[in-house]
Chains A and B, each alone.
Chain A
């Protein structure tokens, strides 16, 4: 097959929030940049974010970045790196104000400032009371943000390669990254994008689970590509189950609903969160709320004929508030739950939502791996930002609104680092290895010629069912052990997928088969890292690590205050220390403590 070569200063894979924010930095610096996306940029999954983006603007209640940092570290169950968290919380106001200047249509307060609402786990004065920190455009914040970022890129003349799917990362003999291979979906042609810098902003992988709020496209492409190229994946056992997915449909209902006063109720109508989180109640951290809901359901207090969900009630809010602040939620509720939330509560259930782990990076967006005794050695030429990356700011549990903030701060930071590295001459165009496209061509060739293989749909479903059953909201030692075996079997089946569609033009069967190769890496990383972590922390709670006096909440800091690193080759696990030290003297380290809300 003929493989065209294209050369750029930088190539960005992914055009969601992180990719578009990074692209702005590069385009506005006049660097020759290619942005690859398998969907038109405004179709990226950032578009589905609803409730807001965190920044301690203090427009409606007193606030500062110290409180935000404390909440984020506590939310992460102390697994987040405090240097990166300090960096993110300090930068929040700047990146949100920039967005406003780009034209983002934030809602407004009466005095004309950006409207802010309360959100789960965000507090004033170190956990004392809810704070209004989530900057919102109704309940369509992600949509408004993604379009504003795309529009700014139109202004900056960013060069997009729309509906191109990246296939594999290209590393040379030194292990440096020199670009990616990619497939143009309309023609089926493969190209090499040869670049001095490669930024991955490919988003999450929530489609490894059966029930997910994530879009079809969230198949962990960057994460899978990195894993196949020998880059370890960090903290992949930590997955966020959002408390309020529409029961049965999985579609997201924002936490902003509870920020505006919504209440979770069980079958007897009780506001059960008062028992689990007496202080923040329905606005406790997501992992806490999700577990409380599942406990209610498991103990027989679920709603509906099968007692398999709980109710999210906003019938006490005025119709005006709902129409003004939550119009999208009303539409979704009518469309996917068949209820108008002005009149009746919405049936909800915890649903897979966000990948806390990912490609290991530092706060500058550089991808870092263990090398020569340093666990955080940058990989030359390789950067990552957004959900595909692990900076790590979310640790074991992400706070709502910190994901949109993450992609702005670290998208920008990765872009700035690349600009610096290019302008200082630190990065040069290294020659392509002779076999640069061989891995990708072999994958395509296998698909083309596979006989008597497995069906993509069947293997994907087996993977999703396995993840759902064996690595869910609560985790069990025996199920995890069995889950490892099961997911390795599924991974074997994924090696022999067969498609009937052999067309070169917009072959979506081929796209789905290639996506499955990425998903399966993420699924293995998740199950194996989860089985190995013998404690409970944040979103990872297991039956054999219960809440005791010695180990509050089941957390074992002595043995497990460390990041997991999973290598695809041999399914090997390694670990590296958590950075408990902030980056500046502006703030003291947030000391370890038991997490309660």
Chain B
């Protein structure tokens, strides 16, 4: 990002009139300045925070609805300003888009400069090397041209690019990787954003609940929820099927406190068919171990209980019999669900209530579960009759829409509440038939996802790390060596050369003086090495 700020002009000076092009240039220059980038970075960090404070629709739409219900005054305003979908909101997008533009505006000119720097020669050595920040002298046992050649070789070996502008000096430059890394980091940041965008456009995800013994076919209409990018054809999903043979679940029983009842292991045993006609295969899916099927990844993200319930009419004919998933509400798997029996007569019947894997027997605080595993399962239901589907509108399968339903009372007129343990039945009052709780099966919540951008995003993310390490740890250095015949040496047979080394670093470089004194020591290789004097850079 281009640094520096133009010196402030005096107020008396008449500013030149700016045309549209001038203004555009002014805006561009300001937007791409480091100051703006810094401001945008800080703004981005502040703008991201509300998304962690307020519930987000993309994560949990239910909590957003709860929040809106609990805060009727401020809720709608927050909603209007996008606080429940911060990361899709115009203001958050504005900040990061400006940042990306600023980033590109810094990458392009810097790439150009770096390209030129890479191809240009190291500059001519200054006359007085000892005035540079770090310098040293050494005596080389040999003539000046040999000393120069030795210096050139030593620098080359340390991966310097060297060039001699004249016969008595050599200039070396190293550490271009620093700027290369810097540019790589910033370009890779842009690619990360591209990768995320690809995922949003071409990716899809579908969630489905599958009870033990059931088979799920990956067809759009079979998913409970389905989200797709705009470029995805939902009718062209990979046509695999998954049968959930068994779901193994384990909960903490030993540790006390909040750890008691915490989940310890989930494993789904499945039989899958990748595409119709292929042979069935056995696979396990567990948390952290997704299964890849037909290009999509299948994750085990949820679990719960599906009580198997049978409803009979007054004549004893089965009018409803299936495993009905109940959704867990807390860590102890107190679960809510509904049983809808539209074929009941004369009125449609609905049951709604709780499934408790380990029921607290007294119901002092209402129906509660005390452990998430099936130690003492129980159903607690209320009974309704009337029209289950008012207006024929779509509705949740886990709750009853009671708009056109009335509760079924007990014979004594009090509200009816049924408690059933597995194997028990209950005769409904008034010849409405009976309900029995046969057994409990587990269900697995599978999430099927594809993200064609994730490979690109990952590669770019790794590139940012590589770039960052190079840009922060590599030192850009210039080293100059000047040689002259040793003035102190007599006109003896052995000629010695006075070598002066000067070095510059582009940023703070604590290792530079060590580097220079090493180089000096290396060049001072004579039968009787002459001590090299180093002037260290210290602050």
User: Are A and B part of the same complex?
Assistant: no
